[in-house]
Structure 1
Amino acid sequence: MHLVEHFSLAASANTLASLVMAFVLGTAIGLERQYRQRTAGLRTNVLVAVGAALFVDIAMRYHGLYGGTPSPLHVVAYVVSGVGFLGAGVIMREEGNVRGLNTAATLWGSAAVGVACGVGLVLEAVLGTVFVLLANTALRPLVNALNRKPLDVDSVEVTNTVFVIAAREEQQAVRTAVEAELERSSYPIRDLDVRAFGEAEIEIEATLAATSVDGDELDAVVRRIAARPGVRQAFWAPSTTE
């Protein structure tokens, strides 16, 4: 064992500083993900950042003691590819939509921040954190605005439809509530159809004018509709026609 030989207060202090910085910046990134209730939240982003920092720090210490290969640069490359496999685990396909790409990319950003902390590039690590947070927050309004614009493609049409099952005697009240809730959330209705659903219920089918939507935002709208009196069930689904 080389425990005594490798022990150095100065080197350990550098390692501690790197890990603390990775922990703090990983927390900053993870808080935004946790607030939006993403698959990879606070702890995952912190662990990725701290783990990346520790791997690179160990590589630099080892290379400083013994030289040769693998160099710290090789370890950085392994961290990048390794986080790619981790990110693939949070990508899901639901009803024709791929979800989790942004979360996977955020994990990749956390790893990059951790690597910067591990090699002692504090300012670069802070700048990386700022830009990851800007991508996840400042660009969100622009993405939502673009998603609500009609898709200008002749061959493919994307249709997003909200379905509501309600008691027959509450038909008018529920219909009014659905129209108001969608309009308030900036999802105007292109077409609305009401049909019988069994003996005591009706189904409201509201086709949205938007060809692309924010899935999490529309999920929240549907949950608010489902919580209204008289509503038995509410959900939404995208479809494509060629």
Structure 2
Amino acid sequence: MHTFAAYATSFVLATLIGLERQWRQRSAGLRTVALVAVGAAAFADLGFRVMGPEGVTRIVSYIVSGIGFLGAGVILKDGTNIRGLNTAATLWCSAAVGALAGAGLLIEAGTLTLFVLAGNTLLRPLVNWVNRRPITAEATEAEYALHVVCEAKNVSDVRELIASVLAKASYPVREVEARPEASGLVELDAILLPTDAESAELDAVVAALEQSPLVSSAAWSVEATS
């Protein structure tokens, strides 16, 4: 009876978690979450039957490490963006729900399910509000970059010009990347070391660069660091 109750509880609770993931068309949906939770419950129940409470402790330690490999499979890196972290965390929590159910802690499994659902639903408006705030050095760690366009034959001279202008403004440069464009032009992206920056100072740097006949155009940008 304990086994059936553990499996049924983990299945029902994981279905609630997985339904939210499936509704949002995540890579790990309803079936994946349910199978992870039921599998964790089965292993925890097996450990209890073979070795008692000590067996559950041992099995759970392996579940925690093993689910990490499964979670890694849903994490994708797209350029500088990383996707799937929330889905991997949901799988991890689903395994915890199953392990609790397999250990006979059904109330605790239900409580954890409520918190997982709250994290994936109730926190979403808060996350959206934070993400819509403008990026500033005062609010977050920010990475500033200068974007200077010039002719390919002037790349070396413009590199020196960028270094000189930024040195006068006391802004250290981490690296300068060159990206060829159409019509023989090259865009030089000067990435600044993470630091506080003033918009007015960066505007002055851009204005100084645009005064040079070697520069076709110049601008600066800011984005949050990972």
Checking the alignment, whether the CA contact within 8 Å between 2:135 and 2:223 is kept in structure 1 is no
What whole-Å deviation, never above 9, does each CA across 1:192-225 have from its counterpart, x for those lacking one?
xxxxxxxxxxxxxxxxxxxxxxxxxxxxxxxxxx
Q: Do residues 156 (structure 1) and 143 (structure 2) align? A: yes
Q: Tell me whether 1:71 sits opposite 2:47 in the alignment.
A: no
CA distance in 2, matches of 1:24, 1:86: 21
% identical equivalent positions: 55
Using the TM superposition, give the Cα deviation of residue 240 of structure 1 relative to its aligned residue in structure 2, in angstroms: 5.4
Q: Residue type of the partner of 1:105? A: A
Residues 135, 224 of structure 2: 8 Å contact kept: no
Cα offsets for 1:171-196 (capped at 9, x unmatched): xxxxxxxxxxxxxxxxxxxxxxxxxx
In structure 2, C-alpha distance between the alignment counterparts of 1:155 and 1:16, rounded to whole Å: 52
TM-score, normalised to structure 2's length?
A: 0.61
| SS of 2:77 mapped into structure 1 | strand
**Partner Cα separation in structure 2 for residue 41 and residue 108 of structure 1:** 13
- In structure 2, the residue matched to 1:40 is 28
Matched to 1:151, the amino acid is: I
Contact between 1:151 and 1:157, CA under 8 Å: does it hold in 2?
no
Relative to 1, partners in 2 of residues 1:152 and 1:50: Cα closer, same or farther, differing over 3 Å? same
Root mean square deviation of aligned Cα:
2.2
Paired residue total: 146
| Aligned-residue offset at 1:74 | 1.1
Match in the other structure for 2:65 = 81
Contact 2:14 2:34 in 1 (8 A): yes
CA change 1:120–1:148 in 2 (3 A) is same
The CA deviation at 1:32 is: 0.2
Residue identity in the other structure for 2:40: A
Residue identity in the other structure for 1:76: V
- The offset of 1:35, in angstroms, is 0.3
Task: Please give the TM-score of this superposition, normalised by the length of structure 1.
Answer: 0.57
Please, which of 41, 44, 50 is the counterpart of residue 62 of structure 1? 50
Unaligned runs of 5+ in 2: 146-221
Task: For 1:157 and 1:36, locate their aligned partners in 2 and report how far apart those are by CA, in whole Å.
Answer: 33
Deviations 1:5-57 (A, max 9, x none): xxxxxxxx210110000000010000000000000000000000000000000
Question: How far apart, CA to CA, are the structure 2 residues paired with 1:113 and 1:121?
Answer: 9
* Contact kept in structure 2, 1:52 and 1:118, CA below 8 Å: yes
